[in-house]
Structure 1
Amino acid sequence: MTKSEFPQNLLPNNISALAAYSSAKSQKLTGTTWLNANESPYTKTFELSLSDLNRYPDPQPNNVINAYAKYAGLNTEQVLMTRGADEGIELLVRTYCENSKDSIALFLPTYGMYKVTADTHNIAINALTQKLLLEGTAEQITSAIGDSKLVFICNPNNPTGSLTELDKISAIAIALADKAIVVVDEAYIEFCPEKSAASLLQDFNNIVVLRTLSKAFALAGLRTGFMLANTELLKPVRKVIAPYPVSRVVAQIAEQALQSDAITQMRRQVTILNRAKAALVQWLKSCSAVNTVLNGEGNFVTVQFKQKEDIDNAMQSGLIMRPFTLYEQDNWLRISIGNEQELEQVKLWLEMLGTEQ
C-alpha cells in the first residue's frame, strides 16, 4: 500500500499561498563567525531550580512582571509577558483584526513577521514606505493608513536602523484615536533608550509597545518578550493568550536578568556594542567596495556593496552575515555587532576588499 499525497484541499487558500518568514537561523549555513541574527555576543549564567516542573507555571509570573514594570517605568497592569515579541505581534492580530475584513499598515522595508502573521490570519496588508514614515507629515501618514486596524512601527527599524521621533508617533496616535492601534516594536530600544515610546502610554490608550530580552539582554534563546499598553487595551489580549505561555524555567531566568545588577551589566554591554558599532561604520565608510552605509540605531549596521559577489564570497569563507534585497537591489548586507574577535574578521575582510578594488 502506497502512501497517498497530502490532500491540499484541506489547506485554506491563504496558508497554501503563504510565504514563510525566513529567519537568519532557518538557513542551513556553515561558518566560523556568526553575525547574521542580531544576537548579543555576550553569554550569561543563571541558577535554576527544577524541582517543581510537575506543576503548571504561573501564567504571568509576578516577580518577572514586577521587575519589568519597574524597569520600564510602568504599572504591573500595563505589562504582559509573551514568548518573544513575535507572540505579541500575533496576539494583537488575533485579538483586534477580523479575518478577511481588516488590514494592518506596514512601512517597508521592515521586520518580515508583521506580514507573515497577517497573511497567516488572512488579514490584508496596507504596504506603505519608510520614506513616508520618516519624511511625511502625520496627516499624510494617517491618510495613507486609511482604515487599517493596526499600524506597525518598528523603532528602531529592522533592517534599516532608522528612528521615528516620538512627536510623530504621538501625532499619528492622536489622529488615529478610536480608529486604530499604533504598535511600536522596540526590540532594539536599549541601544537608544531615550527614544522609547513607553513614556507615551500615560497619555494614549491606542499605543502598544513591544519589547524583548533577545537583543541587549543577550537572551535570544530564551524567547521572552513583553507587551506594554494600558489596561483596557490589554484586557482582550489576556483572553486570547495561551493559558500557560511562560515556563517556570523561562520565568526564573527572566527574573534574574531583570535584577538591578544585571540591568547595569546590560547597559554597560550596550555601551561597548555601540562603541564597536561606531568603529564598524567607519571601517565600512572607508572601504572602496562599499556603496552606501545606512545610519541608524540597533546592534547592527546595514550596508550596500558595489558587487553582490563580495557578499557571496564572505559567506562562502565562513563569515556569516545577513544578505538582503532592499529597494529592489540584492547587494545589501546587515552585519550584527559581535565581539572584538568577530568584528576583527569583518575588518580583515573589508581591508582585503579594499585592496582588490
Structure 2
Amino acid sequence: MTSLATKLVPEVVKNLIPYQSARRIGGKGHIWLNANELEQSERYGESESYNRYPDFLPHVIEKAYLEYSKDAVGGEALQCESLAVRGADEGIDLLIRTFCQPGHDQIIVCPPTYAMYEFCADSIAVNTVKVPLAEDFSLNVAAITPHLKDSKVLFLCSPNNPTGNVIPHEQIVALLEASKDSTLVVVDEAYIEFAPHTSVVNLIAEYPHLIVIRTLSKAFGLASIRVGFLLADKSVMDYVARLIPPYPIADPSALVAKKALQQEGLAAMRRQTDELVSIRNWFAEEVAGLAFVEKVYPSSTNFVLVKFGTDDCLYQYLLQKGIVTRNQAHDPRLARCVRISIGTRASMQETLDALKAYPFN
C-alpha cells in the first residue's frame, strides 16, 4: 500500500539521491585522505580535531532520543524513527521543503502560534492558510477540516507558543482521522517536557502521517547547541532524510546532546523542570493578583502570557527596568499581551517587584 508521504512528496524529491558525505560512506584505515580535510590545523579550544569533518554522531543521539521518548510515554514501544536536526526550526524548514512545491502547494497554521511555520513557507513561495484558534485557544476543527484536501502539511503546536496551552488530545485525533488521505499533520512538541503526559508521539504507529517535532532548547536548557529531532514513520523519514545536510550536527553539539540524553542528564533536566514549574505557578498567581492585570493565561510551558488592563502591554515599562520580555501586540488577538519567560526565583521576584511598582491609577 502506498503511504501518504509517497503520494504527497514532489517528484523532484522522490527522485533525489542523497548526497553521500565521506563520513557517511565510512571506511576503515589510519590515514584519512577521503574528505579533502587538512591533516593538521591550529588549536582553538579543547578539541584537537577541528580540521576533521564531524563523525556521524547524529546516529548515536537519534537512538538515545528515541529511547528517551519511549520512556517518556511509559516505556511503550514507539513505531517511528528519529532524525537529528539543527534545532526545531530546521525541522520545520525541512518538512516544508520536502513535501511542498514552491508556487504550487500550501500549508495550514492556526494563529496565534509559532511564526516560523509561516516564515519557512513564505521563504520558498509556499502559501499559508490561516485558521485562527478559538476564543479559548483550542483548535477550530470544523474550520480546519475543509482546507485539508488542498494542503500538504498542517502545523500544530502543543503546548502552543505563545499562548501556553495544550491542544486537547481529542482535537488532534479528530484531525488525524480527517487528514488520513490528504495531509501530513505536524505536532510541534518543543515544550512537551512541561506537560509530558500530553504527547502524541505514541499515535505515530496508528497514524503514519503524524510527525512530531522536539528540541533540546527548552527544558534541557541547551538552546545554544542547536539540536532538535523529528519523530516520524519510516515512510516520511525516507524522504526527509534525502534533504538533510551531509554533516547535520557539529561534533561539540552532538557530544553535549549525548551527555544530556544519558541518565544523569535526564535526571538533571527533570529536576530543573520541576523547579521551573514551581516558580512559574508561584509567579503566575502573584501576577494575576495585580489590579491592572486582566488575565494570566494557563501555561504548560516555561513562560506565561499576561494580558494587562492598561493602555499597553507594559513591555516598554519593563524594558526601562532592564527586564526584556516579548511583546505580542503584533497579533490583534493578543493586544496588551506580553509573554514572560520563567527564569530563576530571583529574576522572577525582580520582575514581580517591578510590576508592583507600576504607577497604576
For the residues of structure 2 that align with 1:76 and 1:52, how far apart are their CA atoms? Answer: 37
CA shift, 1:144, in A, is 4.1
Which residue of 311, 317, 325 maps to 2:321?
317
CA shift, 1:138, in A, is 4.1
Contact 1:111 1:154 in 2 (8 A): yes
Could you tell me which amino acid in structure 1 is paired with residue 278 of structure 2?
R
Contact 2:155 2:188 in 1 (8 A): yes
Task: Specify the SS of the correspondent of 1:51.
Answer: coil
Unaligned runs of 5+ in 1: 1-47
For the residues of structure 2 that align with 1:309 and 1:137, how far apart are their CA atoms? Answer: 27
Could you tell me which amino acid in structure 1 is paired with residue 356 of structure 2?
E
Unaligned runs of 5+ in 2: 1-44, 71-76
1:334 aligns with 2:339: yes
CA shift, 1:292, in A, is 1.9
Which residue of 275, 290, 301 maps to 1:272?
275
Q: In the alignment, which residue of structure 2 is the partner of 1:345?
A: 350
1:233 aligns with 2:236: yes
Q: In the alignment, which residue of structure 1 is the partner of 2:53?
A: 56
Contact 2:134 2:140 in 1 (8 A): no
Moved more, 49-58 or 153-162: 49-58
For the residues of structure 2 that align with 1:167 and 1:329, how far apart are their CA atoms? Answer: 26
Contact 1:103 1:125 in 2 (8 A): yes
Contact 2:284 2:296 in 1 (8 A): yes
Could you tell me which amino acid in structure 2 is paired with residue 276 of structure 1?
I
Could you tell me which amino acid in structure 2 is paired with residue 352 of structure 1?
A
The alpha-carbon distance between structure 1 residues 134 and 318, as it changes in their structure 2 partners (threshold 3 A), is: closer
Q: In the alignment, which residue of structure 2 is the partner of 1:121?
A: 124
Q: In the alignment, which residue of structure 2 is the partner of 1:130?
A: 133
CA shift, 1:134, in A, is 5.3
CA shift, 1:89, in A, is 0.2
1:190 aligns with 2:193: yes
Contact 1:59 1:243 in 2 (8 A): no
For the residues of structure 2 that align with 1:137 and 1:159, how far apart are their CA atoms? Answer: 17
CA shift, 1:54, in A, is 2.6
TM-score normalised according to structure 1 size: 0.82
CA shift, 1:148, in A, is 1.1
CA shift, 1:164, in A, is 1.0
For the residues of structure 1 that align with 2:130 and 2:214, how far apart are their CA atoms? Answer: 23
For the residues of structure 1 that align with 2:52 and 2:234, how far apart are their CA atoms? Answer: 29
Moved more, 58-67 or 120-129: 58-67
Aligned-pair Cα RMSD in Å? 2.0
CA shift, 1:255, in A, is 0.1
Q: In the alignment, which residue of structure 1 is the partner of 2:306?
A: 303
Q: In the alignment, which residue of structure 2 is the partner of 1:88?
A: 91
The residue correspondences of 1:279-294 to structure 2 (distance < 5 A) are: 279-294=282-297
Which residue of 108, 111, 115 maps to 1:112?
115
Query: What per-residue deviation string (whole Å, max 9, x for no partner) do you get for residues 191-223 of structure 1?
Result: 000001111112111000000000000001111
Contact 2:103 2:126 in 1 (8 A): yes
Which residue of 160, 167, 170 maps to 2:170?
167
Could you tell me which amino acid in structure 1 is paired with residue 144 of structure 2?
I
For the residues of structure 2 that align with 1:244 and 1:147, how far apart are their CA atoms? Answer: 34
Contact 1:53 1:248 in 2 (8 A): no
Could you tell me which amino acid in structure 2 is paired with residue 123 of structure 1?
V
Could you tell me which amino acid in structure 2 is paired with residue 61 of structure 1?
P
Higher relative contact order (CA 8 A, sep 6+): 1
Contact 2:80 2:205 in 1 (8 A): no
CA shift, 1:349, in A, is 1.3
Bigger Rg, which one: 2
CA shift, 1:174, in A, is 1.5
Q: In the alignment, which residue of structure 1 is the partner of 2:73?
A: none
CA shift, 1:309, in A, is 6.7
Which residue of 102, 105, 109 maps to 1:102?
105
The alpha-carbon distance between structure 1 residues 58 and 350, as it changes in their structure 2 partners (threshold 3 A), is: same
Query: What per-residue deviation string (whole Å, max 9, x for no partner) do you get for residues 249-293 of structure 1?
Result: 111110001011111111111111111111111111101121222
1:153 aligns with 2:150: no
Contact 1:108 1:128 in 2 (8 A): yes
The alpha-carbon distance between structure 1 residues 140 and 308, as it changes in their structure 2 partners (threshold 3 A), is: closer
Could you tell me which amino acid in structure 2 is paired with residue 147 of structure 1?
D
Which residue of 46, 66, 69 maps to 2:63?
66
Could you tell me which amino acid in structure 1 is paired with residue 344 of structure 2?
N
CA shift, 1:55, in A, is 2.4
The alpha-carbon distance between structure 1 residues 140 and 332, as it changes in their structure 2 partners (threshold 3 A), is: closer
For the residues of structure 2 that align with 1:301 and 1:310, how far apart are their CA atoms? Answer: 14
CA shift, 1:145, in A, is 3.8
Give aligned-pair identity as a percent.
35
Task: Specify the SS of the correspondent of 1:320.
Answer: coil
Query: What per-residue deviation string (whole Å, max 9, x for no partner) do you get for residues 147-166 of structure 1?
Result: 11100001111000121122
Contact 2:112 2:162 in 1 (8 A): yes
Task: Specify the SS of the correspondent of 1:240.
Answer: coil
